[in-house]
Amino acid sequence: MDLRVEDVDACYGAMQVLASINFAAARGEFLGVIGPNGSGKTTLLRTITRILHPTKGAILIDGRSIYSLGTREFSRRFALVPQDTAINFEFSALDIVLMGRNPYLNRWEIEGHRDIEIAKRCMELTNCWHLADRPITELSGGEKQLVVIARALTQEPDVLLLDEPTSHLDINYQIAIMDLLKRLTTQKRLIVIAVIHDLNLAALYCDRLLLLHRGKIVAIGTPDQVLTPDNIKATFGADVIVSKHVITNHCHISPVPASVTLQNVENDHATIHLICGGGTGAPLMHLLSVKGYKVTAGVLNMLDTDYEMAQLLRLRVVREAPFSPIGEKAFRELLSLIRGVDVVIVCDTPIGMGNLMNLKAATAASEMDKPVFIFDGIEKRDFTGGEATRLFHTLEDRGAIPVSDTRELLVKLRDIIDQR
């Protein structure tokens, strides 16, 4: 069973909102729809659920047009959880959930034992059965959302569509709902299509993402394929760093404040070179740039998080090929760069044989009478069999300034700059 949207246009009056939309979703797939406000995300769901008739194209379920289905059959196959569900009457939560059985009842028929059992099972699945007798008007936003999802599930649909199901909810409810939606695809084999505002939640839970902008599909694919800095910049207008989450290994989006990307680095402040890697230098690049310093960095492997941050901030950086040790050419370029800076900072970066040359460059900087700052704790970051520790002690003997954290670094850095 699959859902196909083929060359669909949709309009509100004379205004076109969707243009040439093409995609498919298979049973057991969690498809996230993302994009900036006004990009057509809600309109796409309204079109799939027949609230809005497309002006062109077709929407097919199992090869059949959704418009060939009768109202009752359509309601048995498709369920929608809207963005806002206003319920002003004091129905119990169970009464609300039982409304999802309407497509299975005749006009004057009331819910039977089987309908109640299905409602109970769906409320247990969404962890809200304990709310069954509570008036819906007394529930919190998160509790109400779980009840509304349970109502949709009692329709026993093949396709579940949700419009920002986690918006305005506490993080515990966000996680509970996203966990539930993922289980529905893996255990119940539903097609789940959800408009999601939080890009990191979308990356963590969705099998694929569909990125909309101005009514058109900009990208569709896995989160890694869709959530690139270029795609996010082109659609949301935001500068971000995309890295791998340390636990899940899913892509993780970190926004960069405009104050950083707009920072004018042509100033009279000191020039500081960062020896970093693996994300240890990115916060300092940001902080020092905001404070008005001119910052350089390297040697960094391309694709390293610190390299991506340096590119984003338009810093001068000495680079090396991905996953490659520092070569002689990059090392010579690094030494040339260090000759023109005022201060060198060696971040708390793990040191292996591949980046050991960076420490040798720091040693060369001390021989040039450059102030060098080093972070304590090299023994825990030394993966060279002791060579990195030996070089750190050499730096200390030559007057390198040890610091324990960023706050201490900034204080001592200011003192050094004032003396120059």
Task: Provide the CATH number for the domain around residue 7.
Answer: 3.40.50.300
Cβ contacts of residue 116 below 8 Å, gap of 6+? 98
What is the identity of the amino acid at 140? S
**pTM, two decimal places:** 0.72
Q: Can you give the pLDDT at residue 83?
A: 82
Q: How far apart are CA 223 and CA 250, in angstroms?
A: 8
Higher confidence at residue 336 or residue 278?
Answer: 336
Q: Can you give the pLDDT at residue 262?
A: 47
Q: How far apart are CA 234 and CA 335, in angstroms?
A: 37
- Could you say which of 221, 251, 281 is where a domain stops? 221
- Residue 178 burial (CB < 10 Å; 0-12/13-18/19+)? buried
What is the identity of the amino acid at 213? H
In which band, very low, low, confident or very high, does the pLDDT at 265 lie, cut at 50, 70 and 90?
Answer: very low
- CATH value at residue 410: 3.40.50.720
Judge if 399 and 329 occupy the same domain.
Answer: yes
Q: Can you give the pLDDT at residue 259?
A: 55
Domain of 181 in residue numbering reads as: 2-221
Q: Judge whether 258 lies within some domain.
A: no
- CA dihedral angle for residue 209, residue 212, residue 218, residue 221, rounded to 10 degrees: 10
Judge if 326 and 388 occupy the same domain.
Answer: yes
Flag whether pLDDT at 267 surpasses 60: no
Q: How far apart are CA 31 and CA 161, in angstroms?
A: 10
Higher confidence at residue 418 or residue 213?
Answer: 213
Q: Are 33 and 193 in contact (CB under 8 A)?
A: yes
Structural domains of the chain, count: 2
Q: How far apart are CA 344 and CA 139, in angstroms?
A: 57
In which band, very low, low, confident or very high, does the pLDDT at 199 lie, cut at 50, 70 and 90?
Answer: very high
Q: Judge whether 30 lies within some domain.
A: yes
Average pLDDT, the chain: 89
Q: How far apart are CA 341 and CA 351, in angstroms?
A: 23
Q: Judge whether 298 lies within some domain.
A: yes
Judge if 274 and 158 occupy the same domain.
Answer: no
Q: How far apart are CA 305 and CA 277, in angstroms?
A: 7
- The residues with which 211 forms a beta bridge, in sequence order, are 34, 219
Flag whether pLDDT at 84 surpasses 80: no
- Could you say which of 221, 246, 276 is where a domain stops? 221
Judge if 210 and 325 occupy the same domain.
Answer: no
Q: Judge whether 397 lies within some domain.
A: yes
Judge if 268 and 201 occupy the same domain.
Answer: no
In which band, very low, low, confident or very high, does the pLDDT at 266 lie, cut at 50, 70 and 90?
Answer: very low
Q: How far apart are CA 180 and CA 373, in angstroms?
A: 49
Judge if 268 and 214 occupy the same domain.
Answer: no
Q: Give the pLDDT mean for 385-410.
A: 90
Calculate helix-pair angle for 282-290, 305-312, nearest 10 degrees.
20
Length of the chain as a residue count: 420
Q: Give the pLDDT mean for 88-110.
A: 88
Per-residue pLDDT of 331-379, as tens digits, reads 999 999 999 999 999 998 999 999 999 999 999 999 998 999 999 888 8
Q: Judge whether 250 lies within some domain.
A: no
Q: Can you give the pLDDT at residue 250?
A: 85
Judge if 62 and 191 occupy the same domain.
Answer: yes
In which band, very low, low, confident or very high, does the pLDDT at 295 lie, cut at 50, 70 and 90?
Answer: very high
Q: Judge whether 287 lies within some domain.
A: yes
Judge if 39 and 173 occupy the same domain.
Answer: yes
Terminal CA-to-CA distance of the chain, rounded, Å?
72
- Residue 3 burial (CB < 10 Å; 0-12/13-18/19+)? buried
Most distant CA atoms of the chain, gap in Å: 92
What is the identity of the amino acid at 64? R
Judge if 192 and 279 occupy the same domain.
Answer: no
Judge if 188 and 114 occupy the same domain.
Answer: yes
Per-residue pLDDT of 308-318, as tens digits, reads 888 878 889 99
Q: How far apart are CA 203 and CA 46, in angstroms?
A: 24
Judge if 208 and 130 occupy the same domain.
Answer: yes
Other C-beta atoms closer than 10 Å to the C-beta of 165 total 26
Q: Can you give the pLDDT at residue 420?
A: 65
Higher confidence at residue 373 or residue 170?
Answer: 373
Q: How far apart are CA 125 and CA 180, in angstroms?
A: 8
Q: How far apart are CA 404 and CA 414, in angstroms?
A: 16
- Could you say which of 165, 187, 221 is where a domain stops? 221
Judge if 269 and 205 occupy the same domain.
Answer: no
Q: Can you give the pLDDT at residue 264?
A: 44
Q: Judge whether 231 lies within some domain.
A: no
Q: Judge whether 190 lies within some domain.
A: yes
| Full DSSP string of 220-272 | EE-HHHH--HHHHHHHH---EEEEE-TTT--EEEEE--HHHHT----SSSPEE
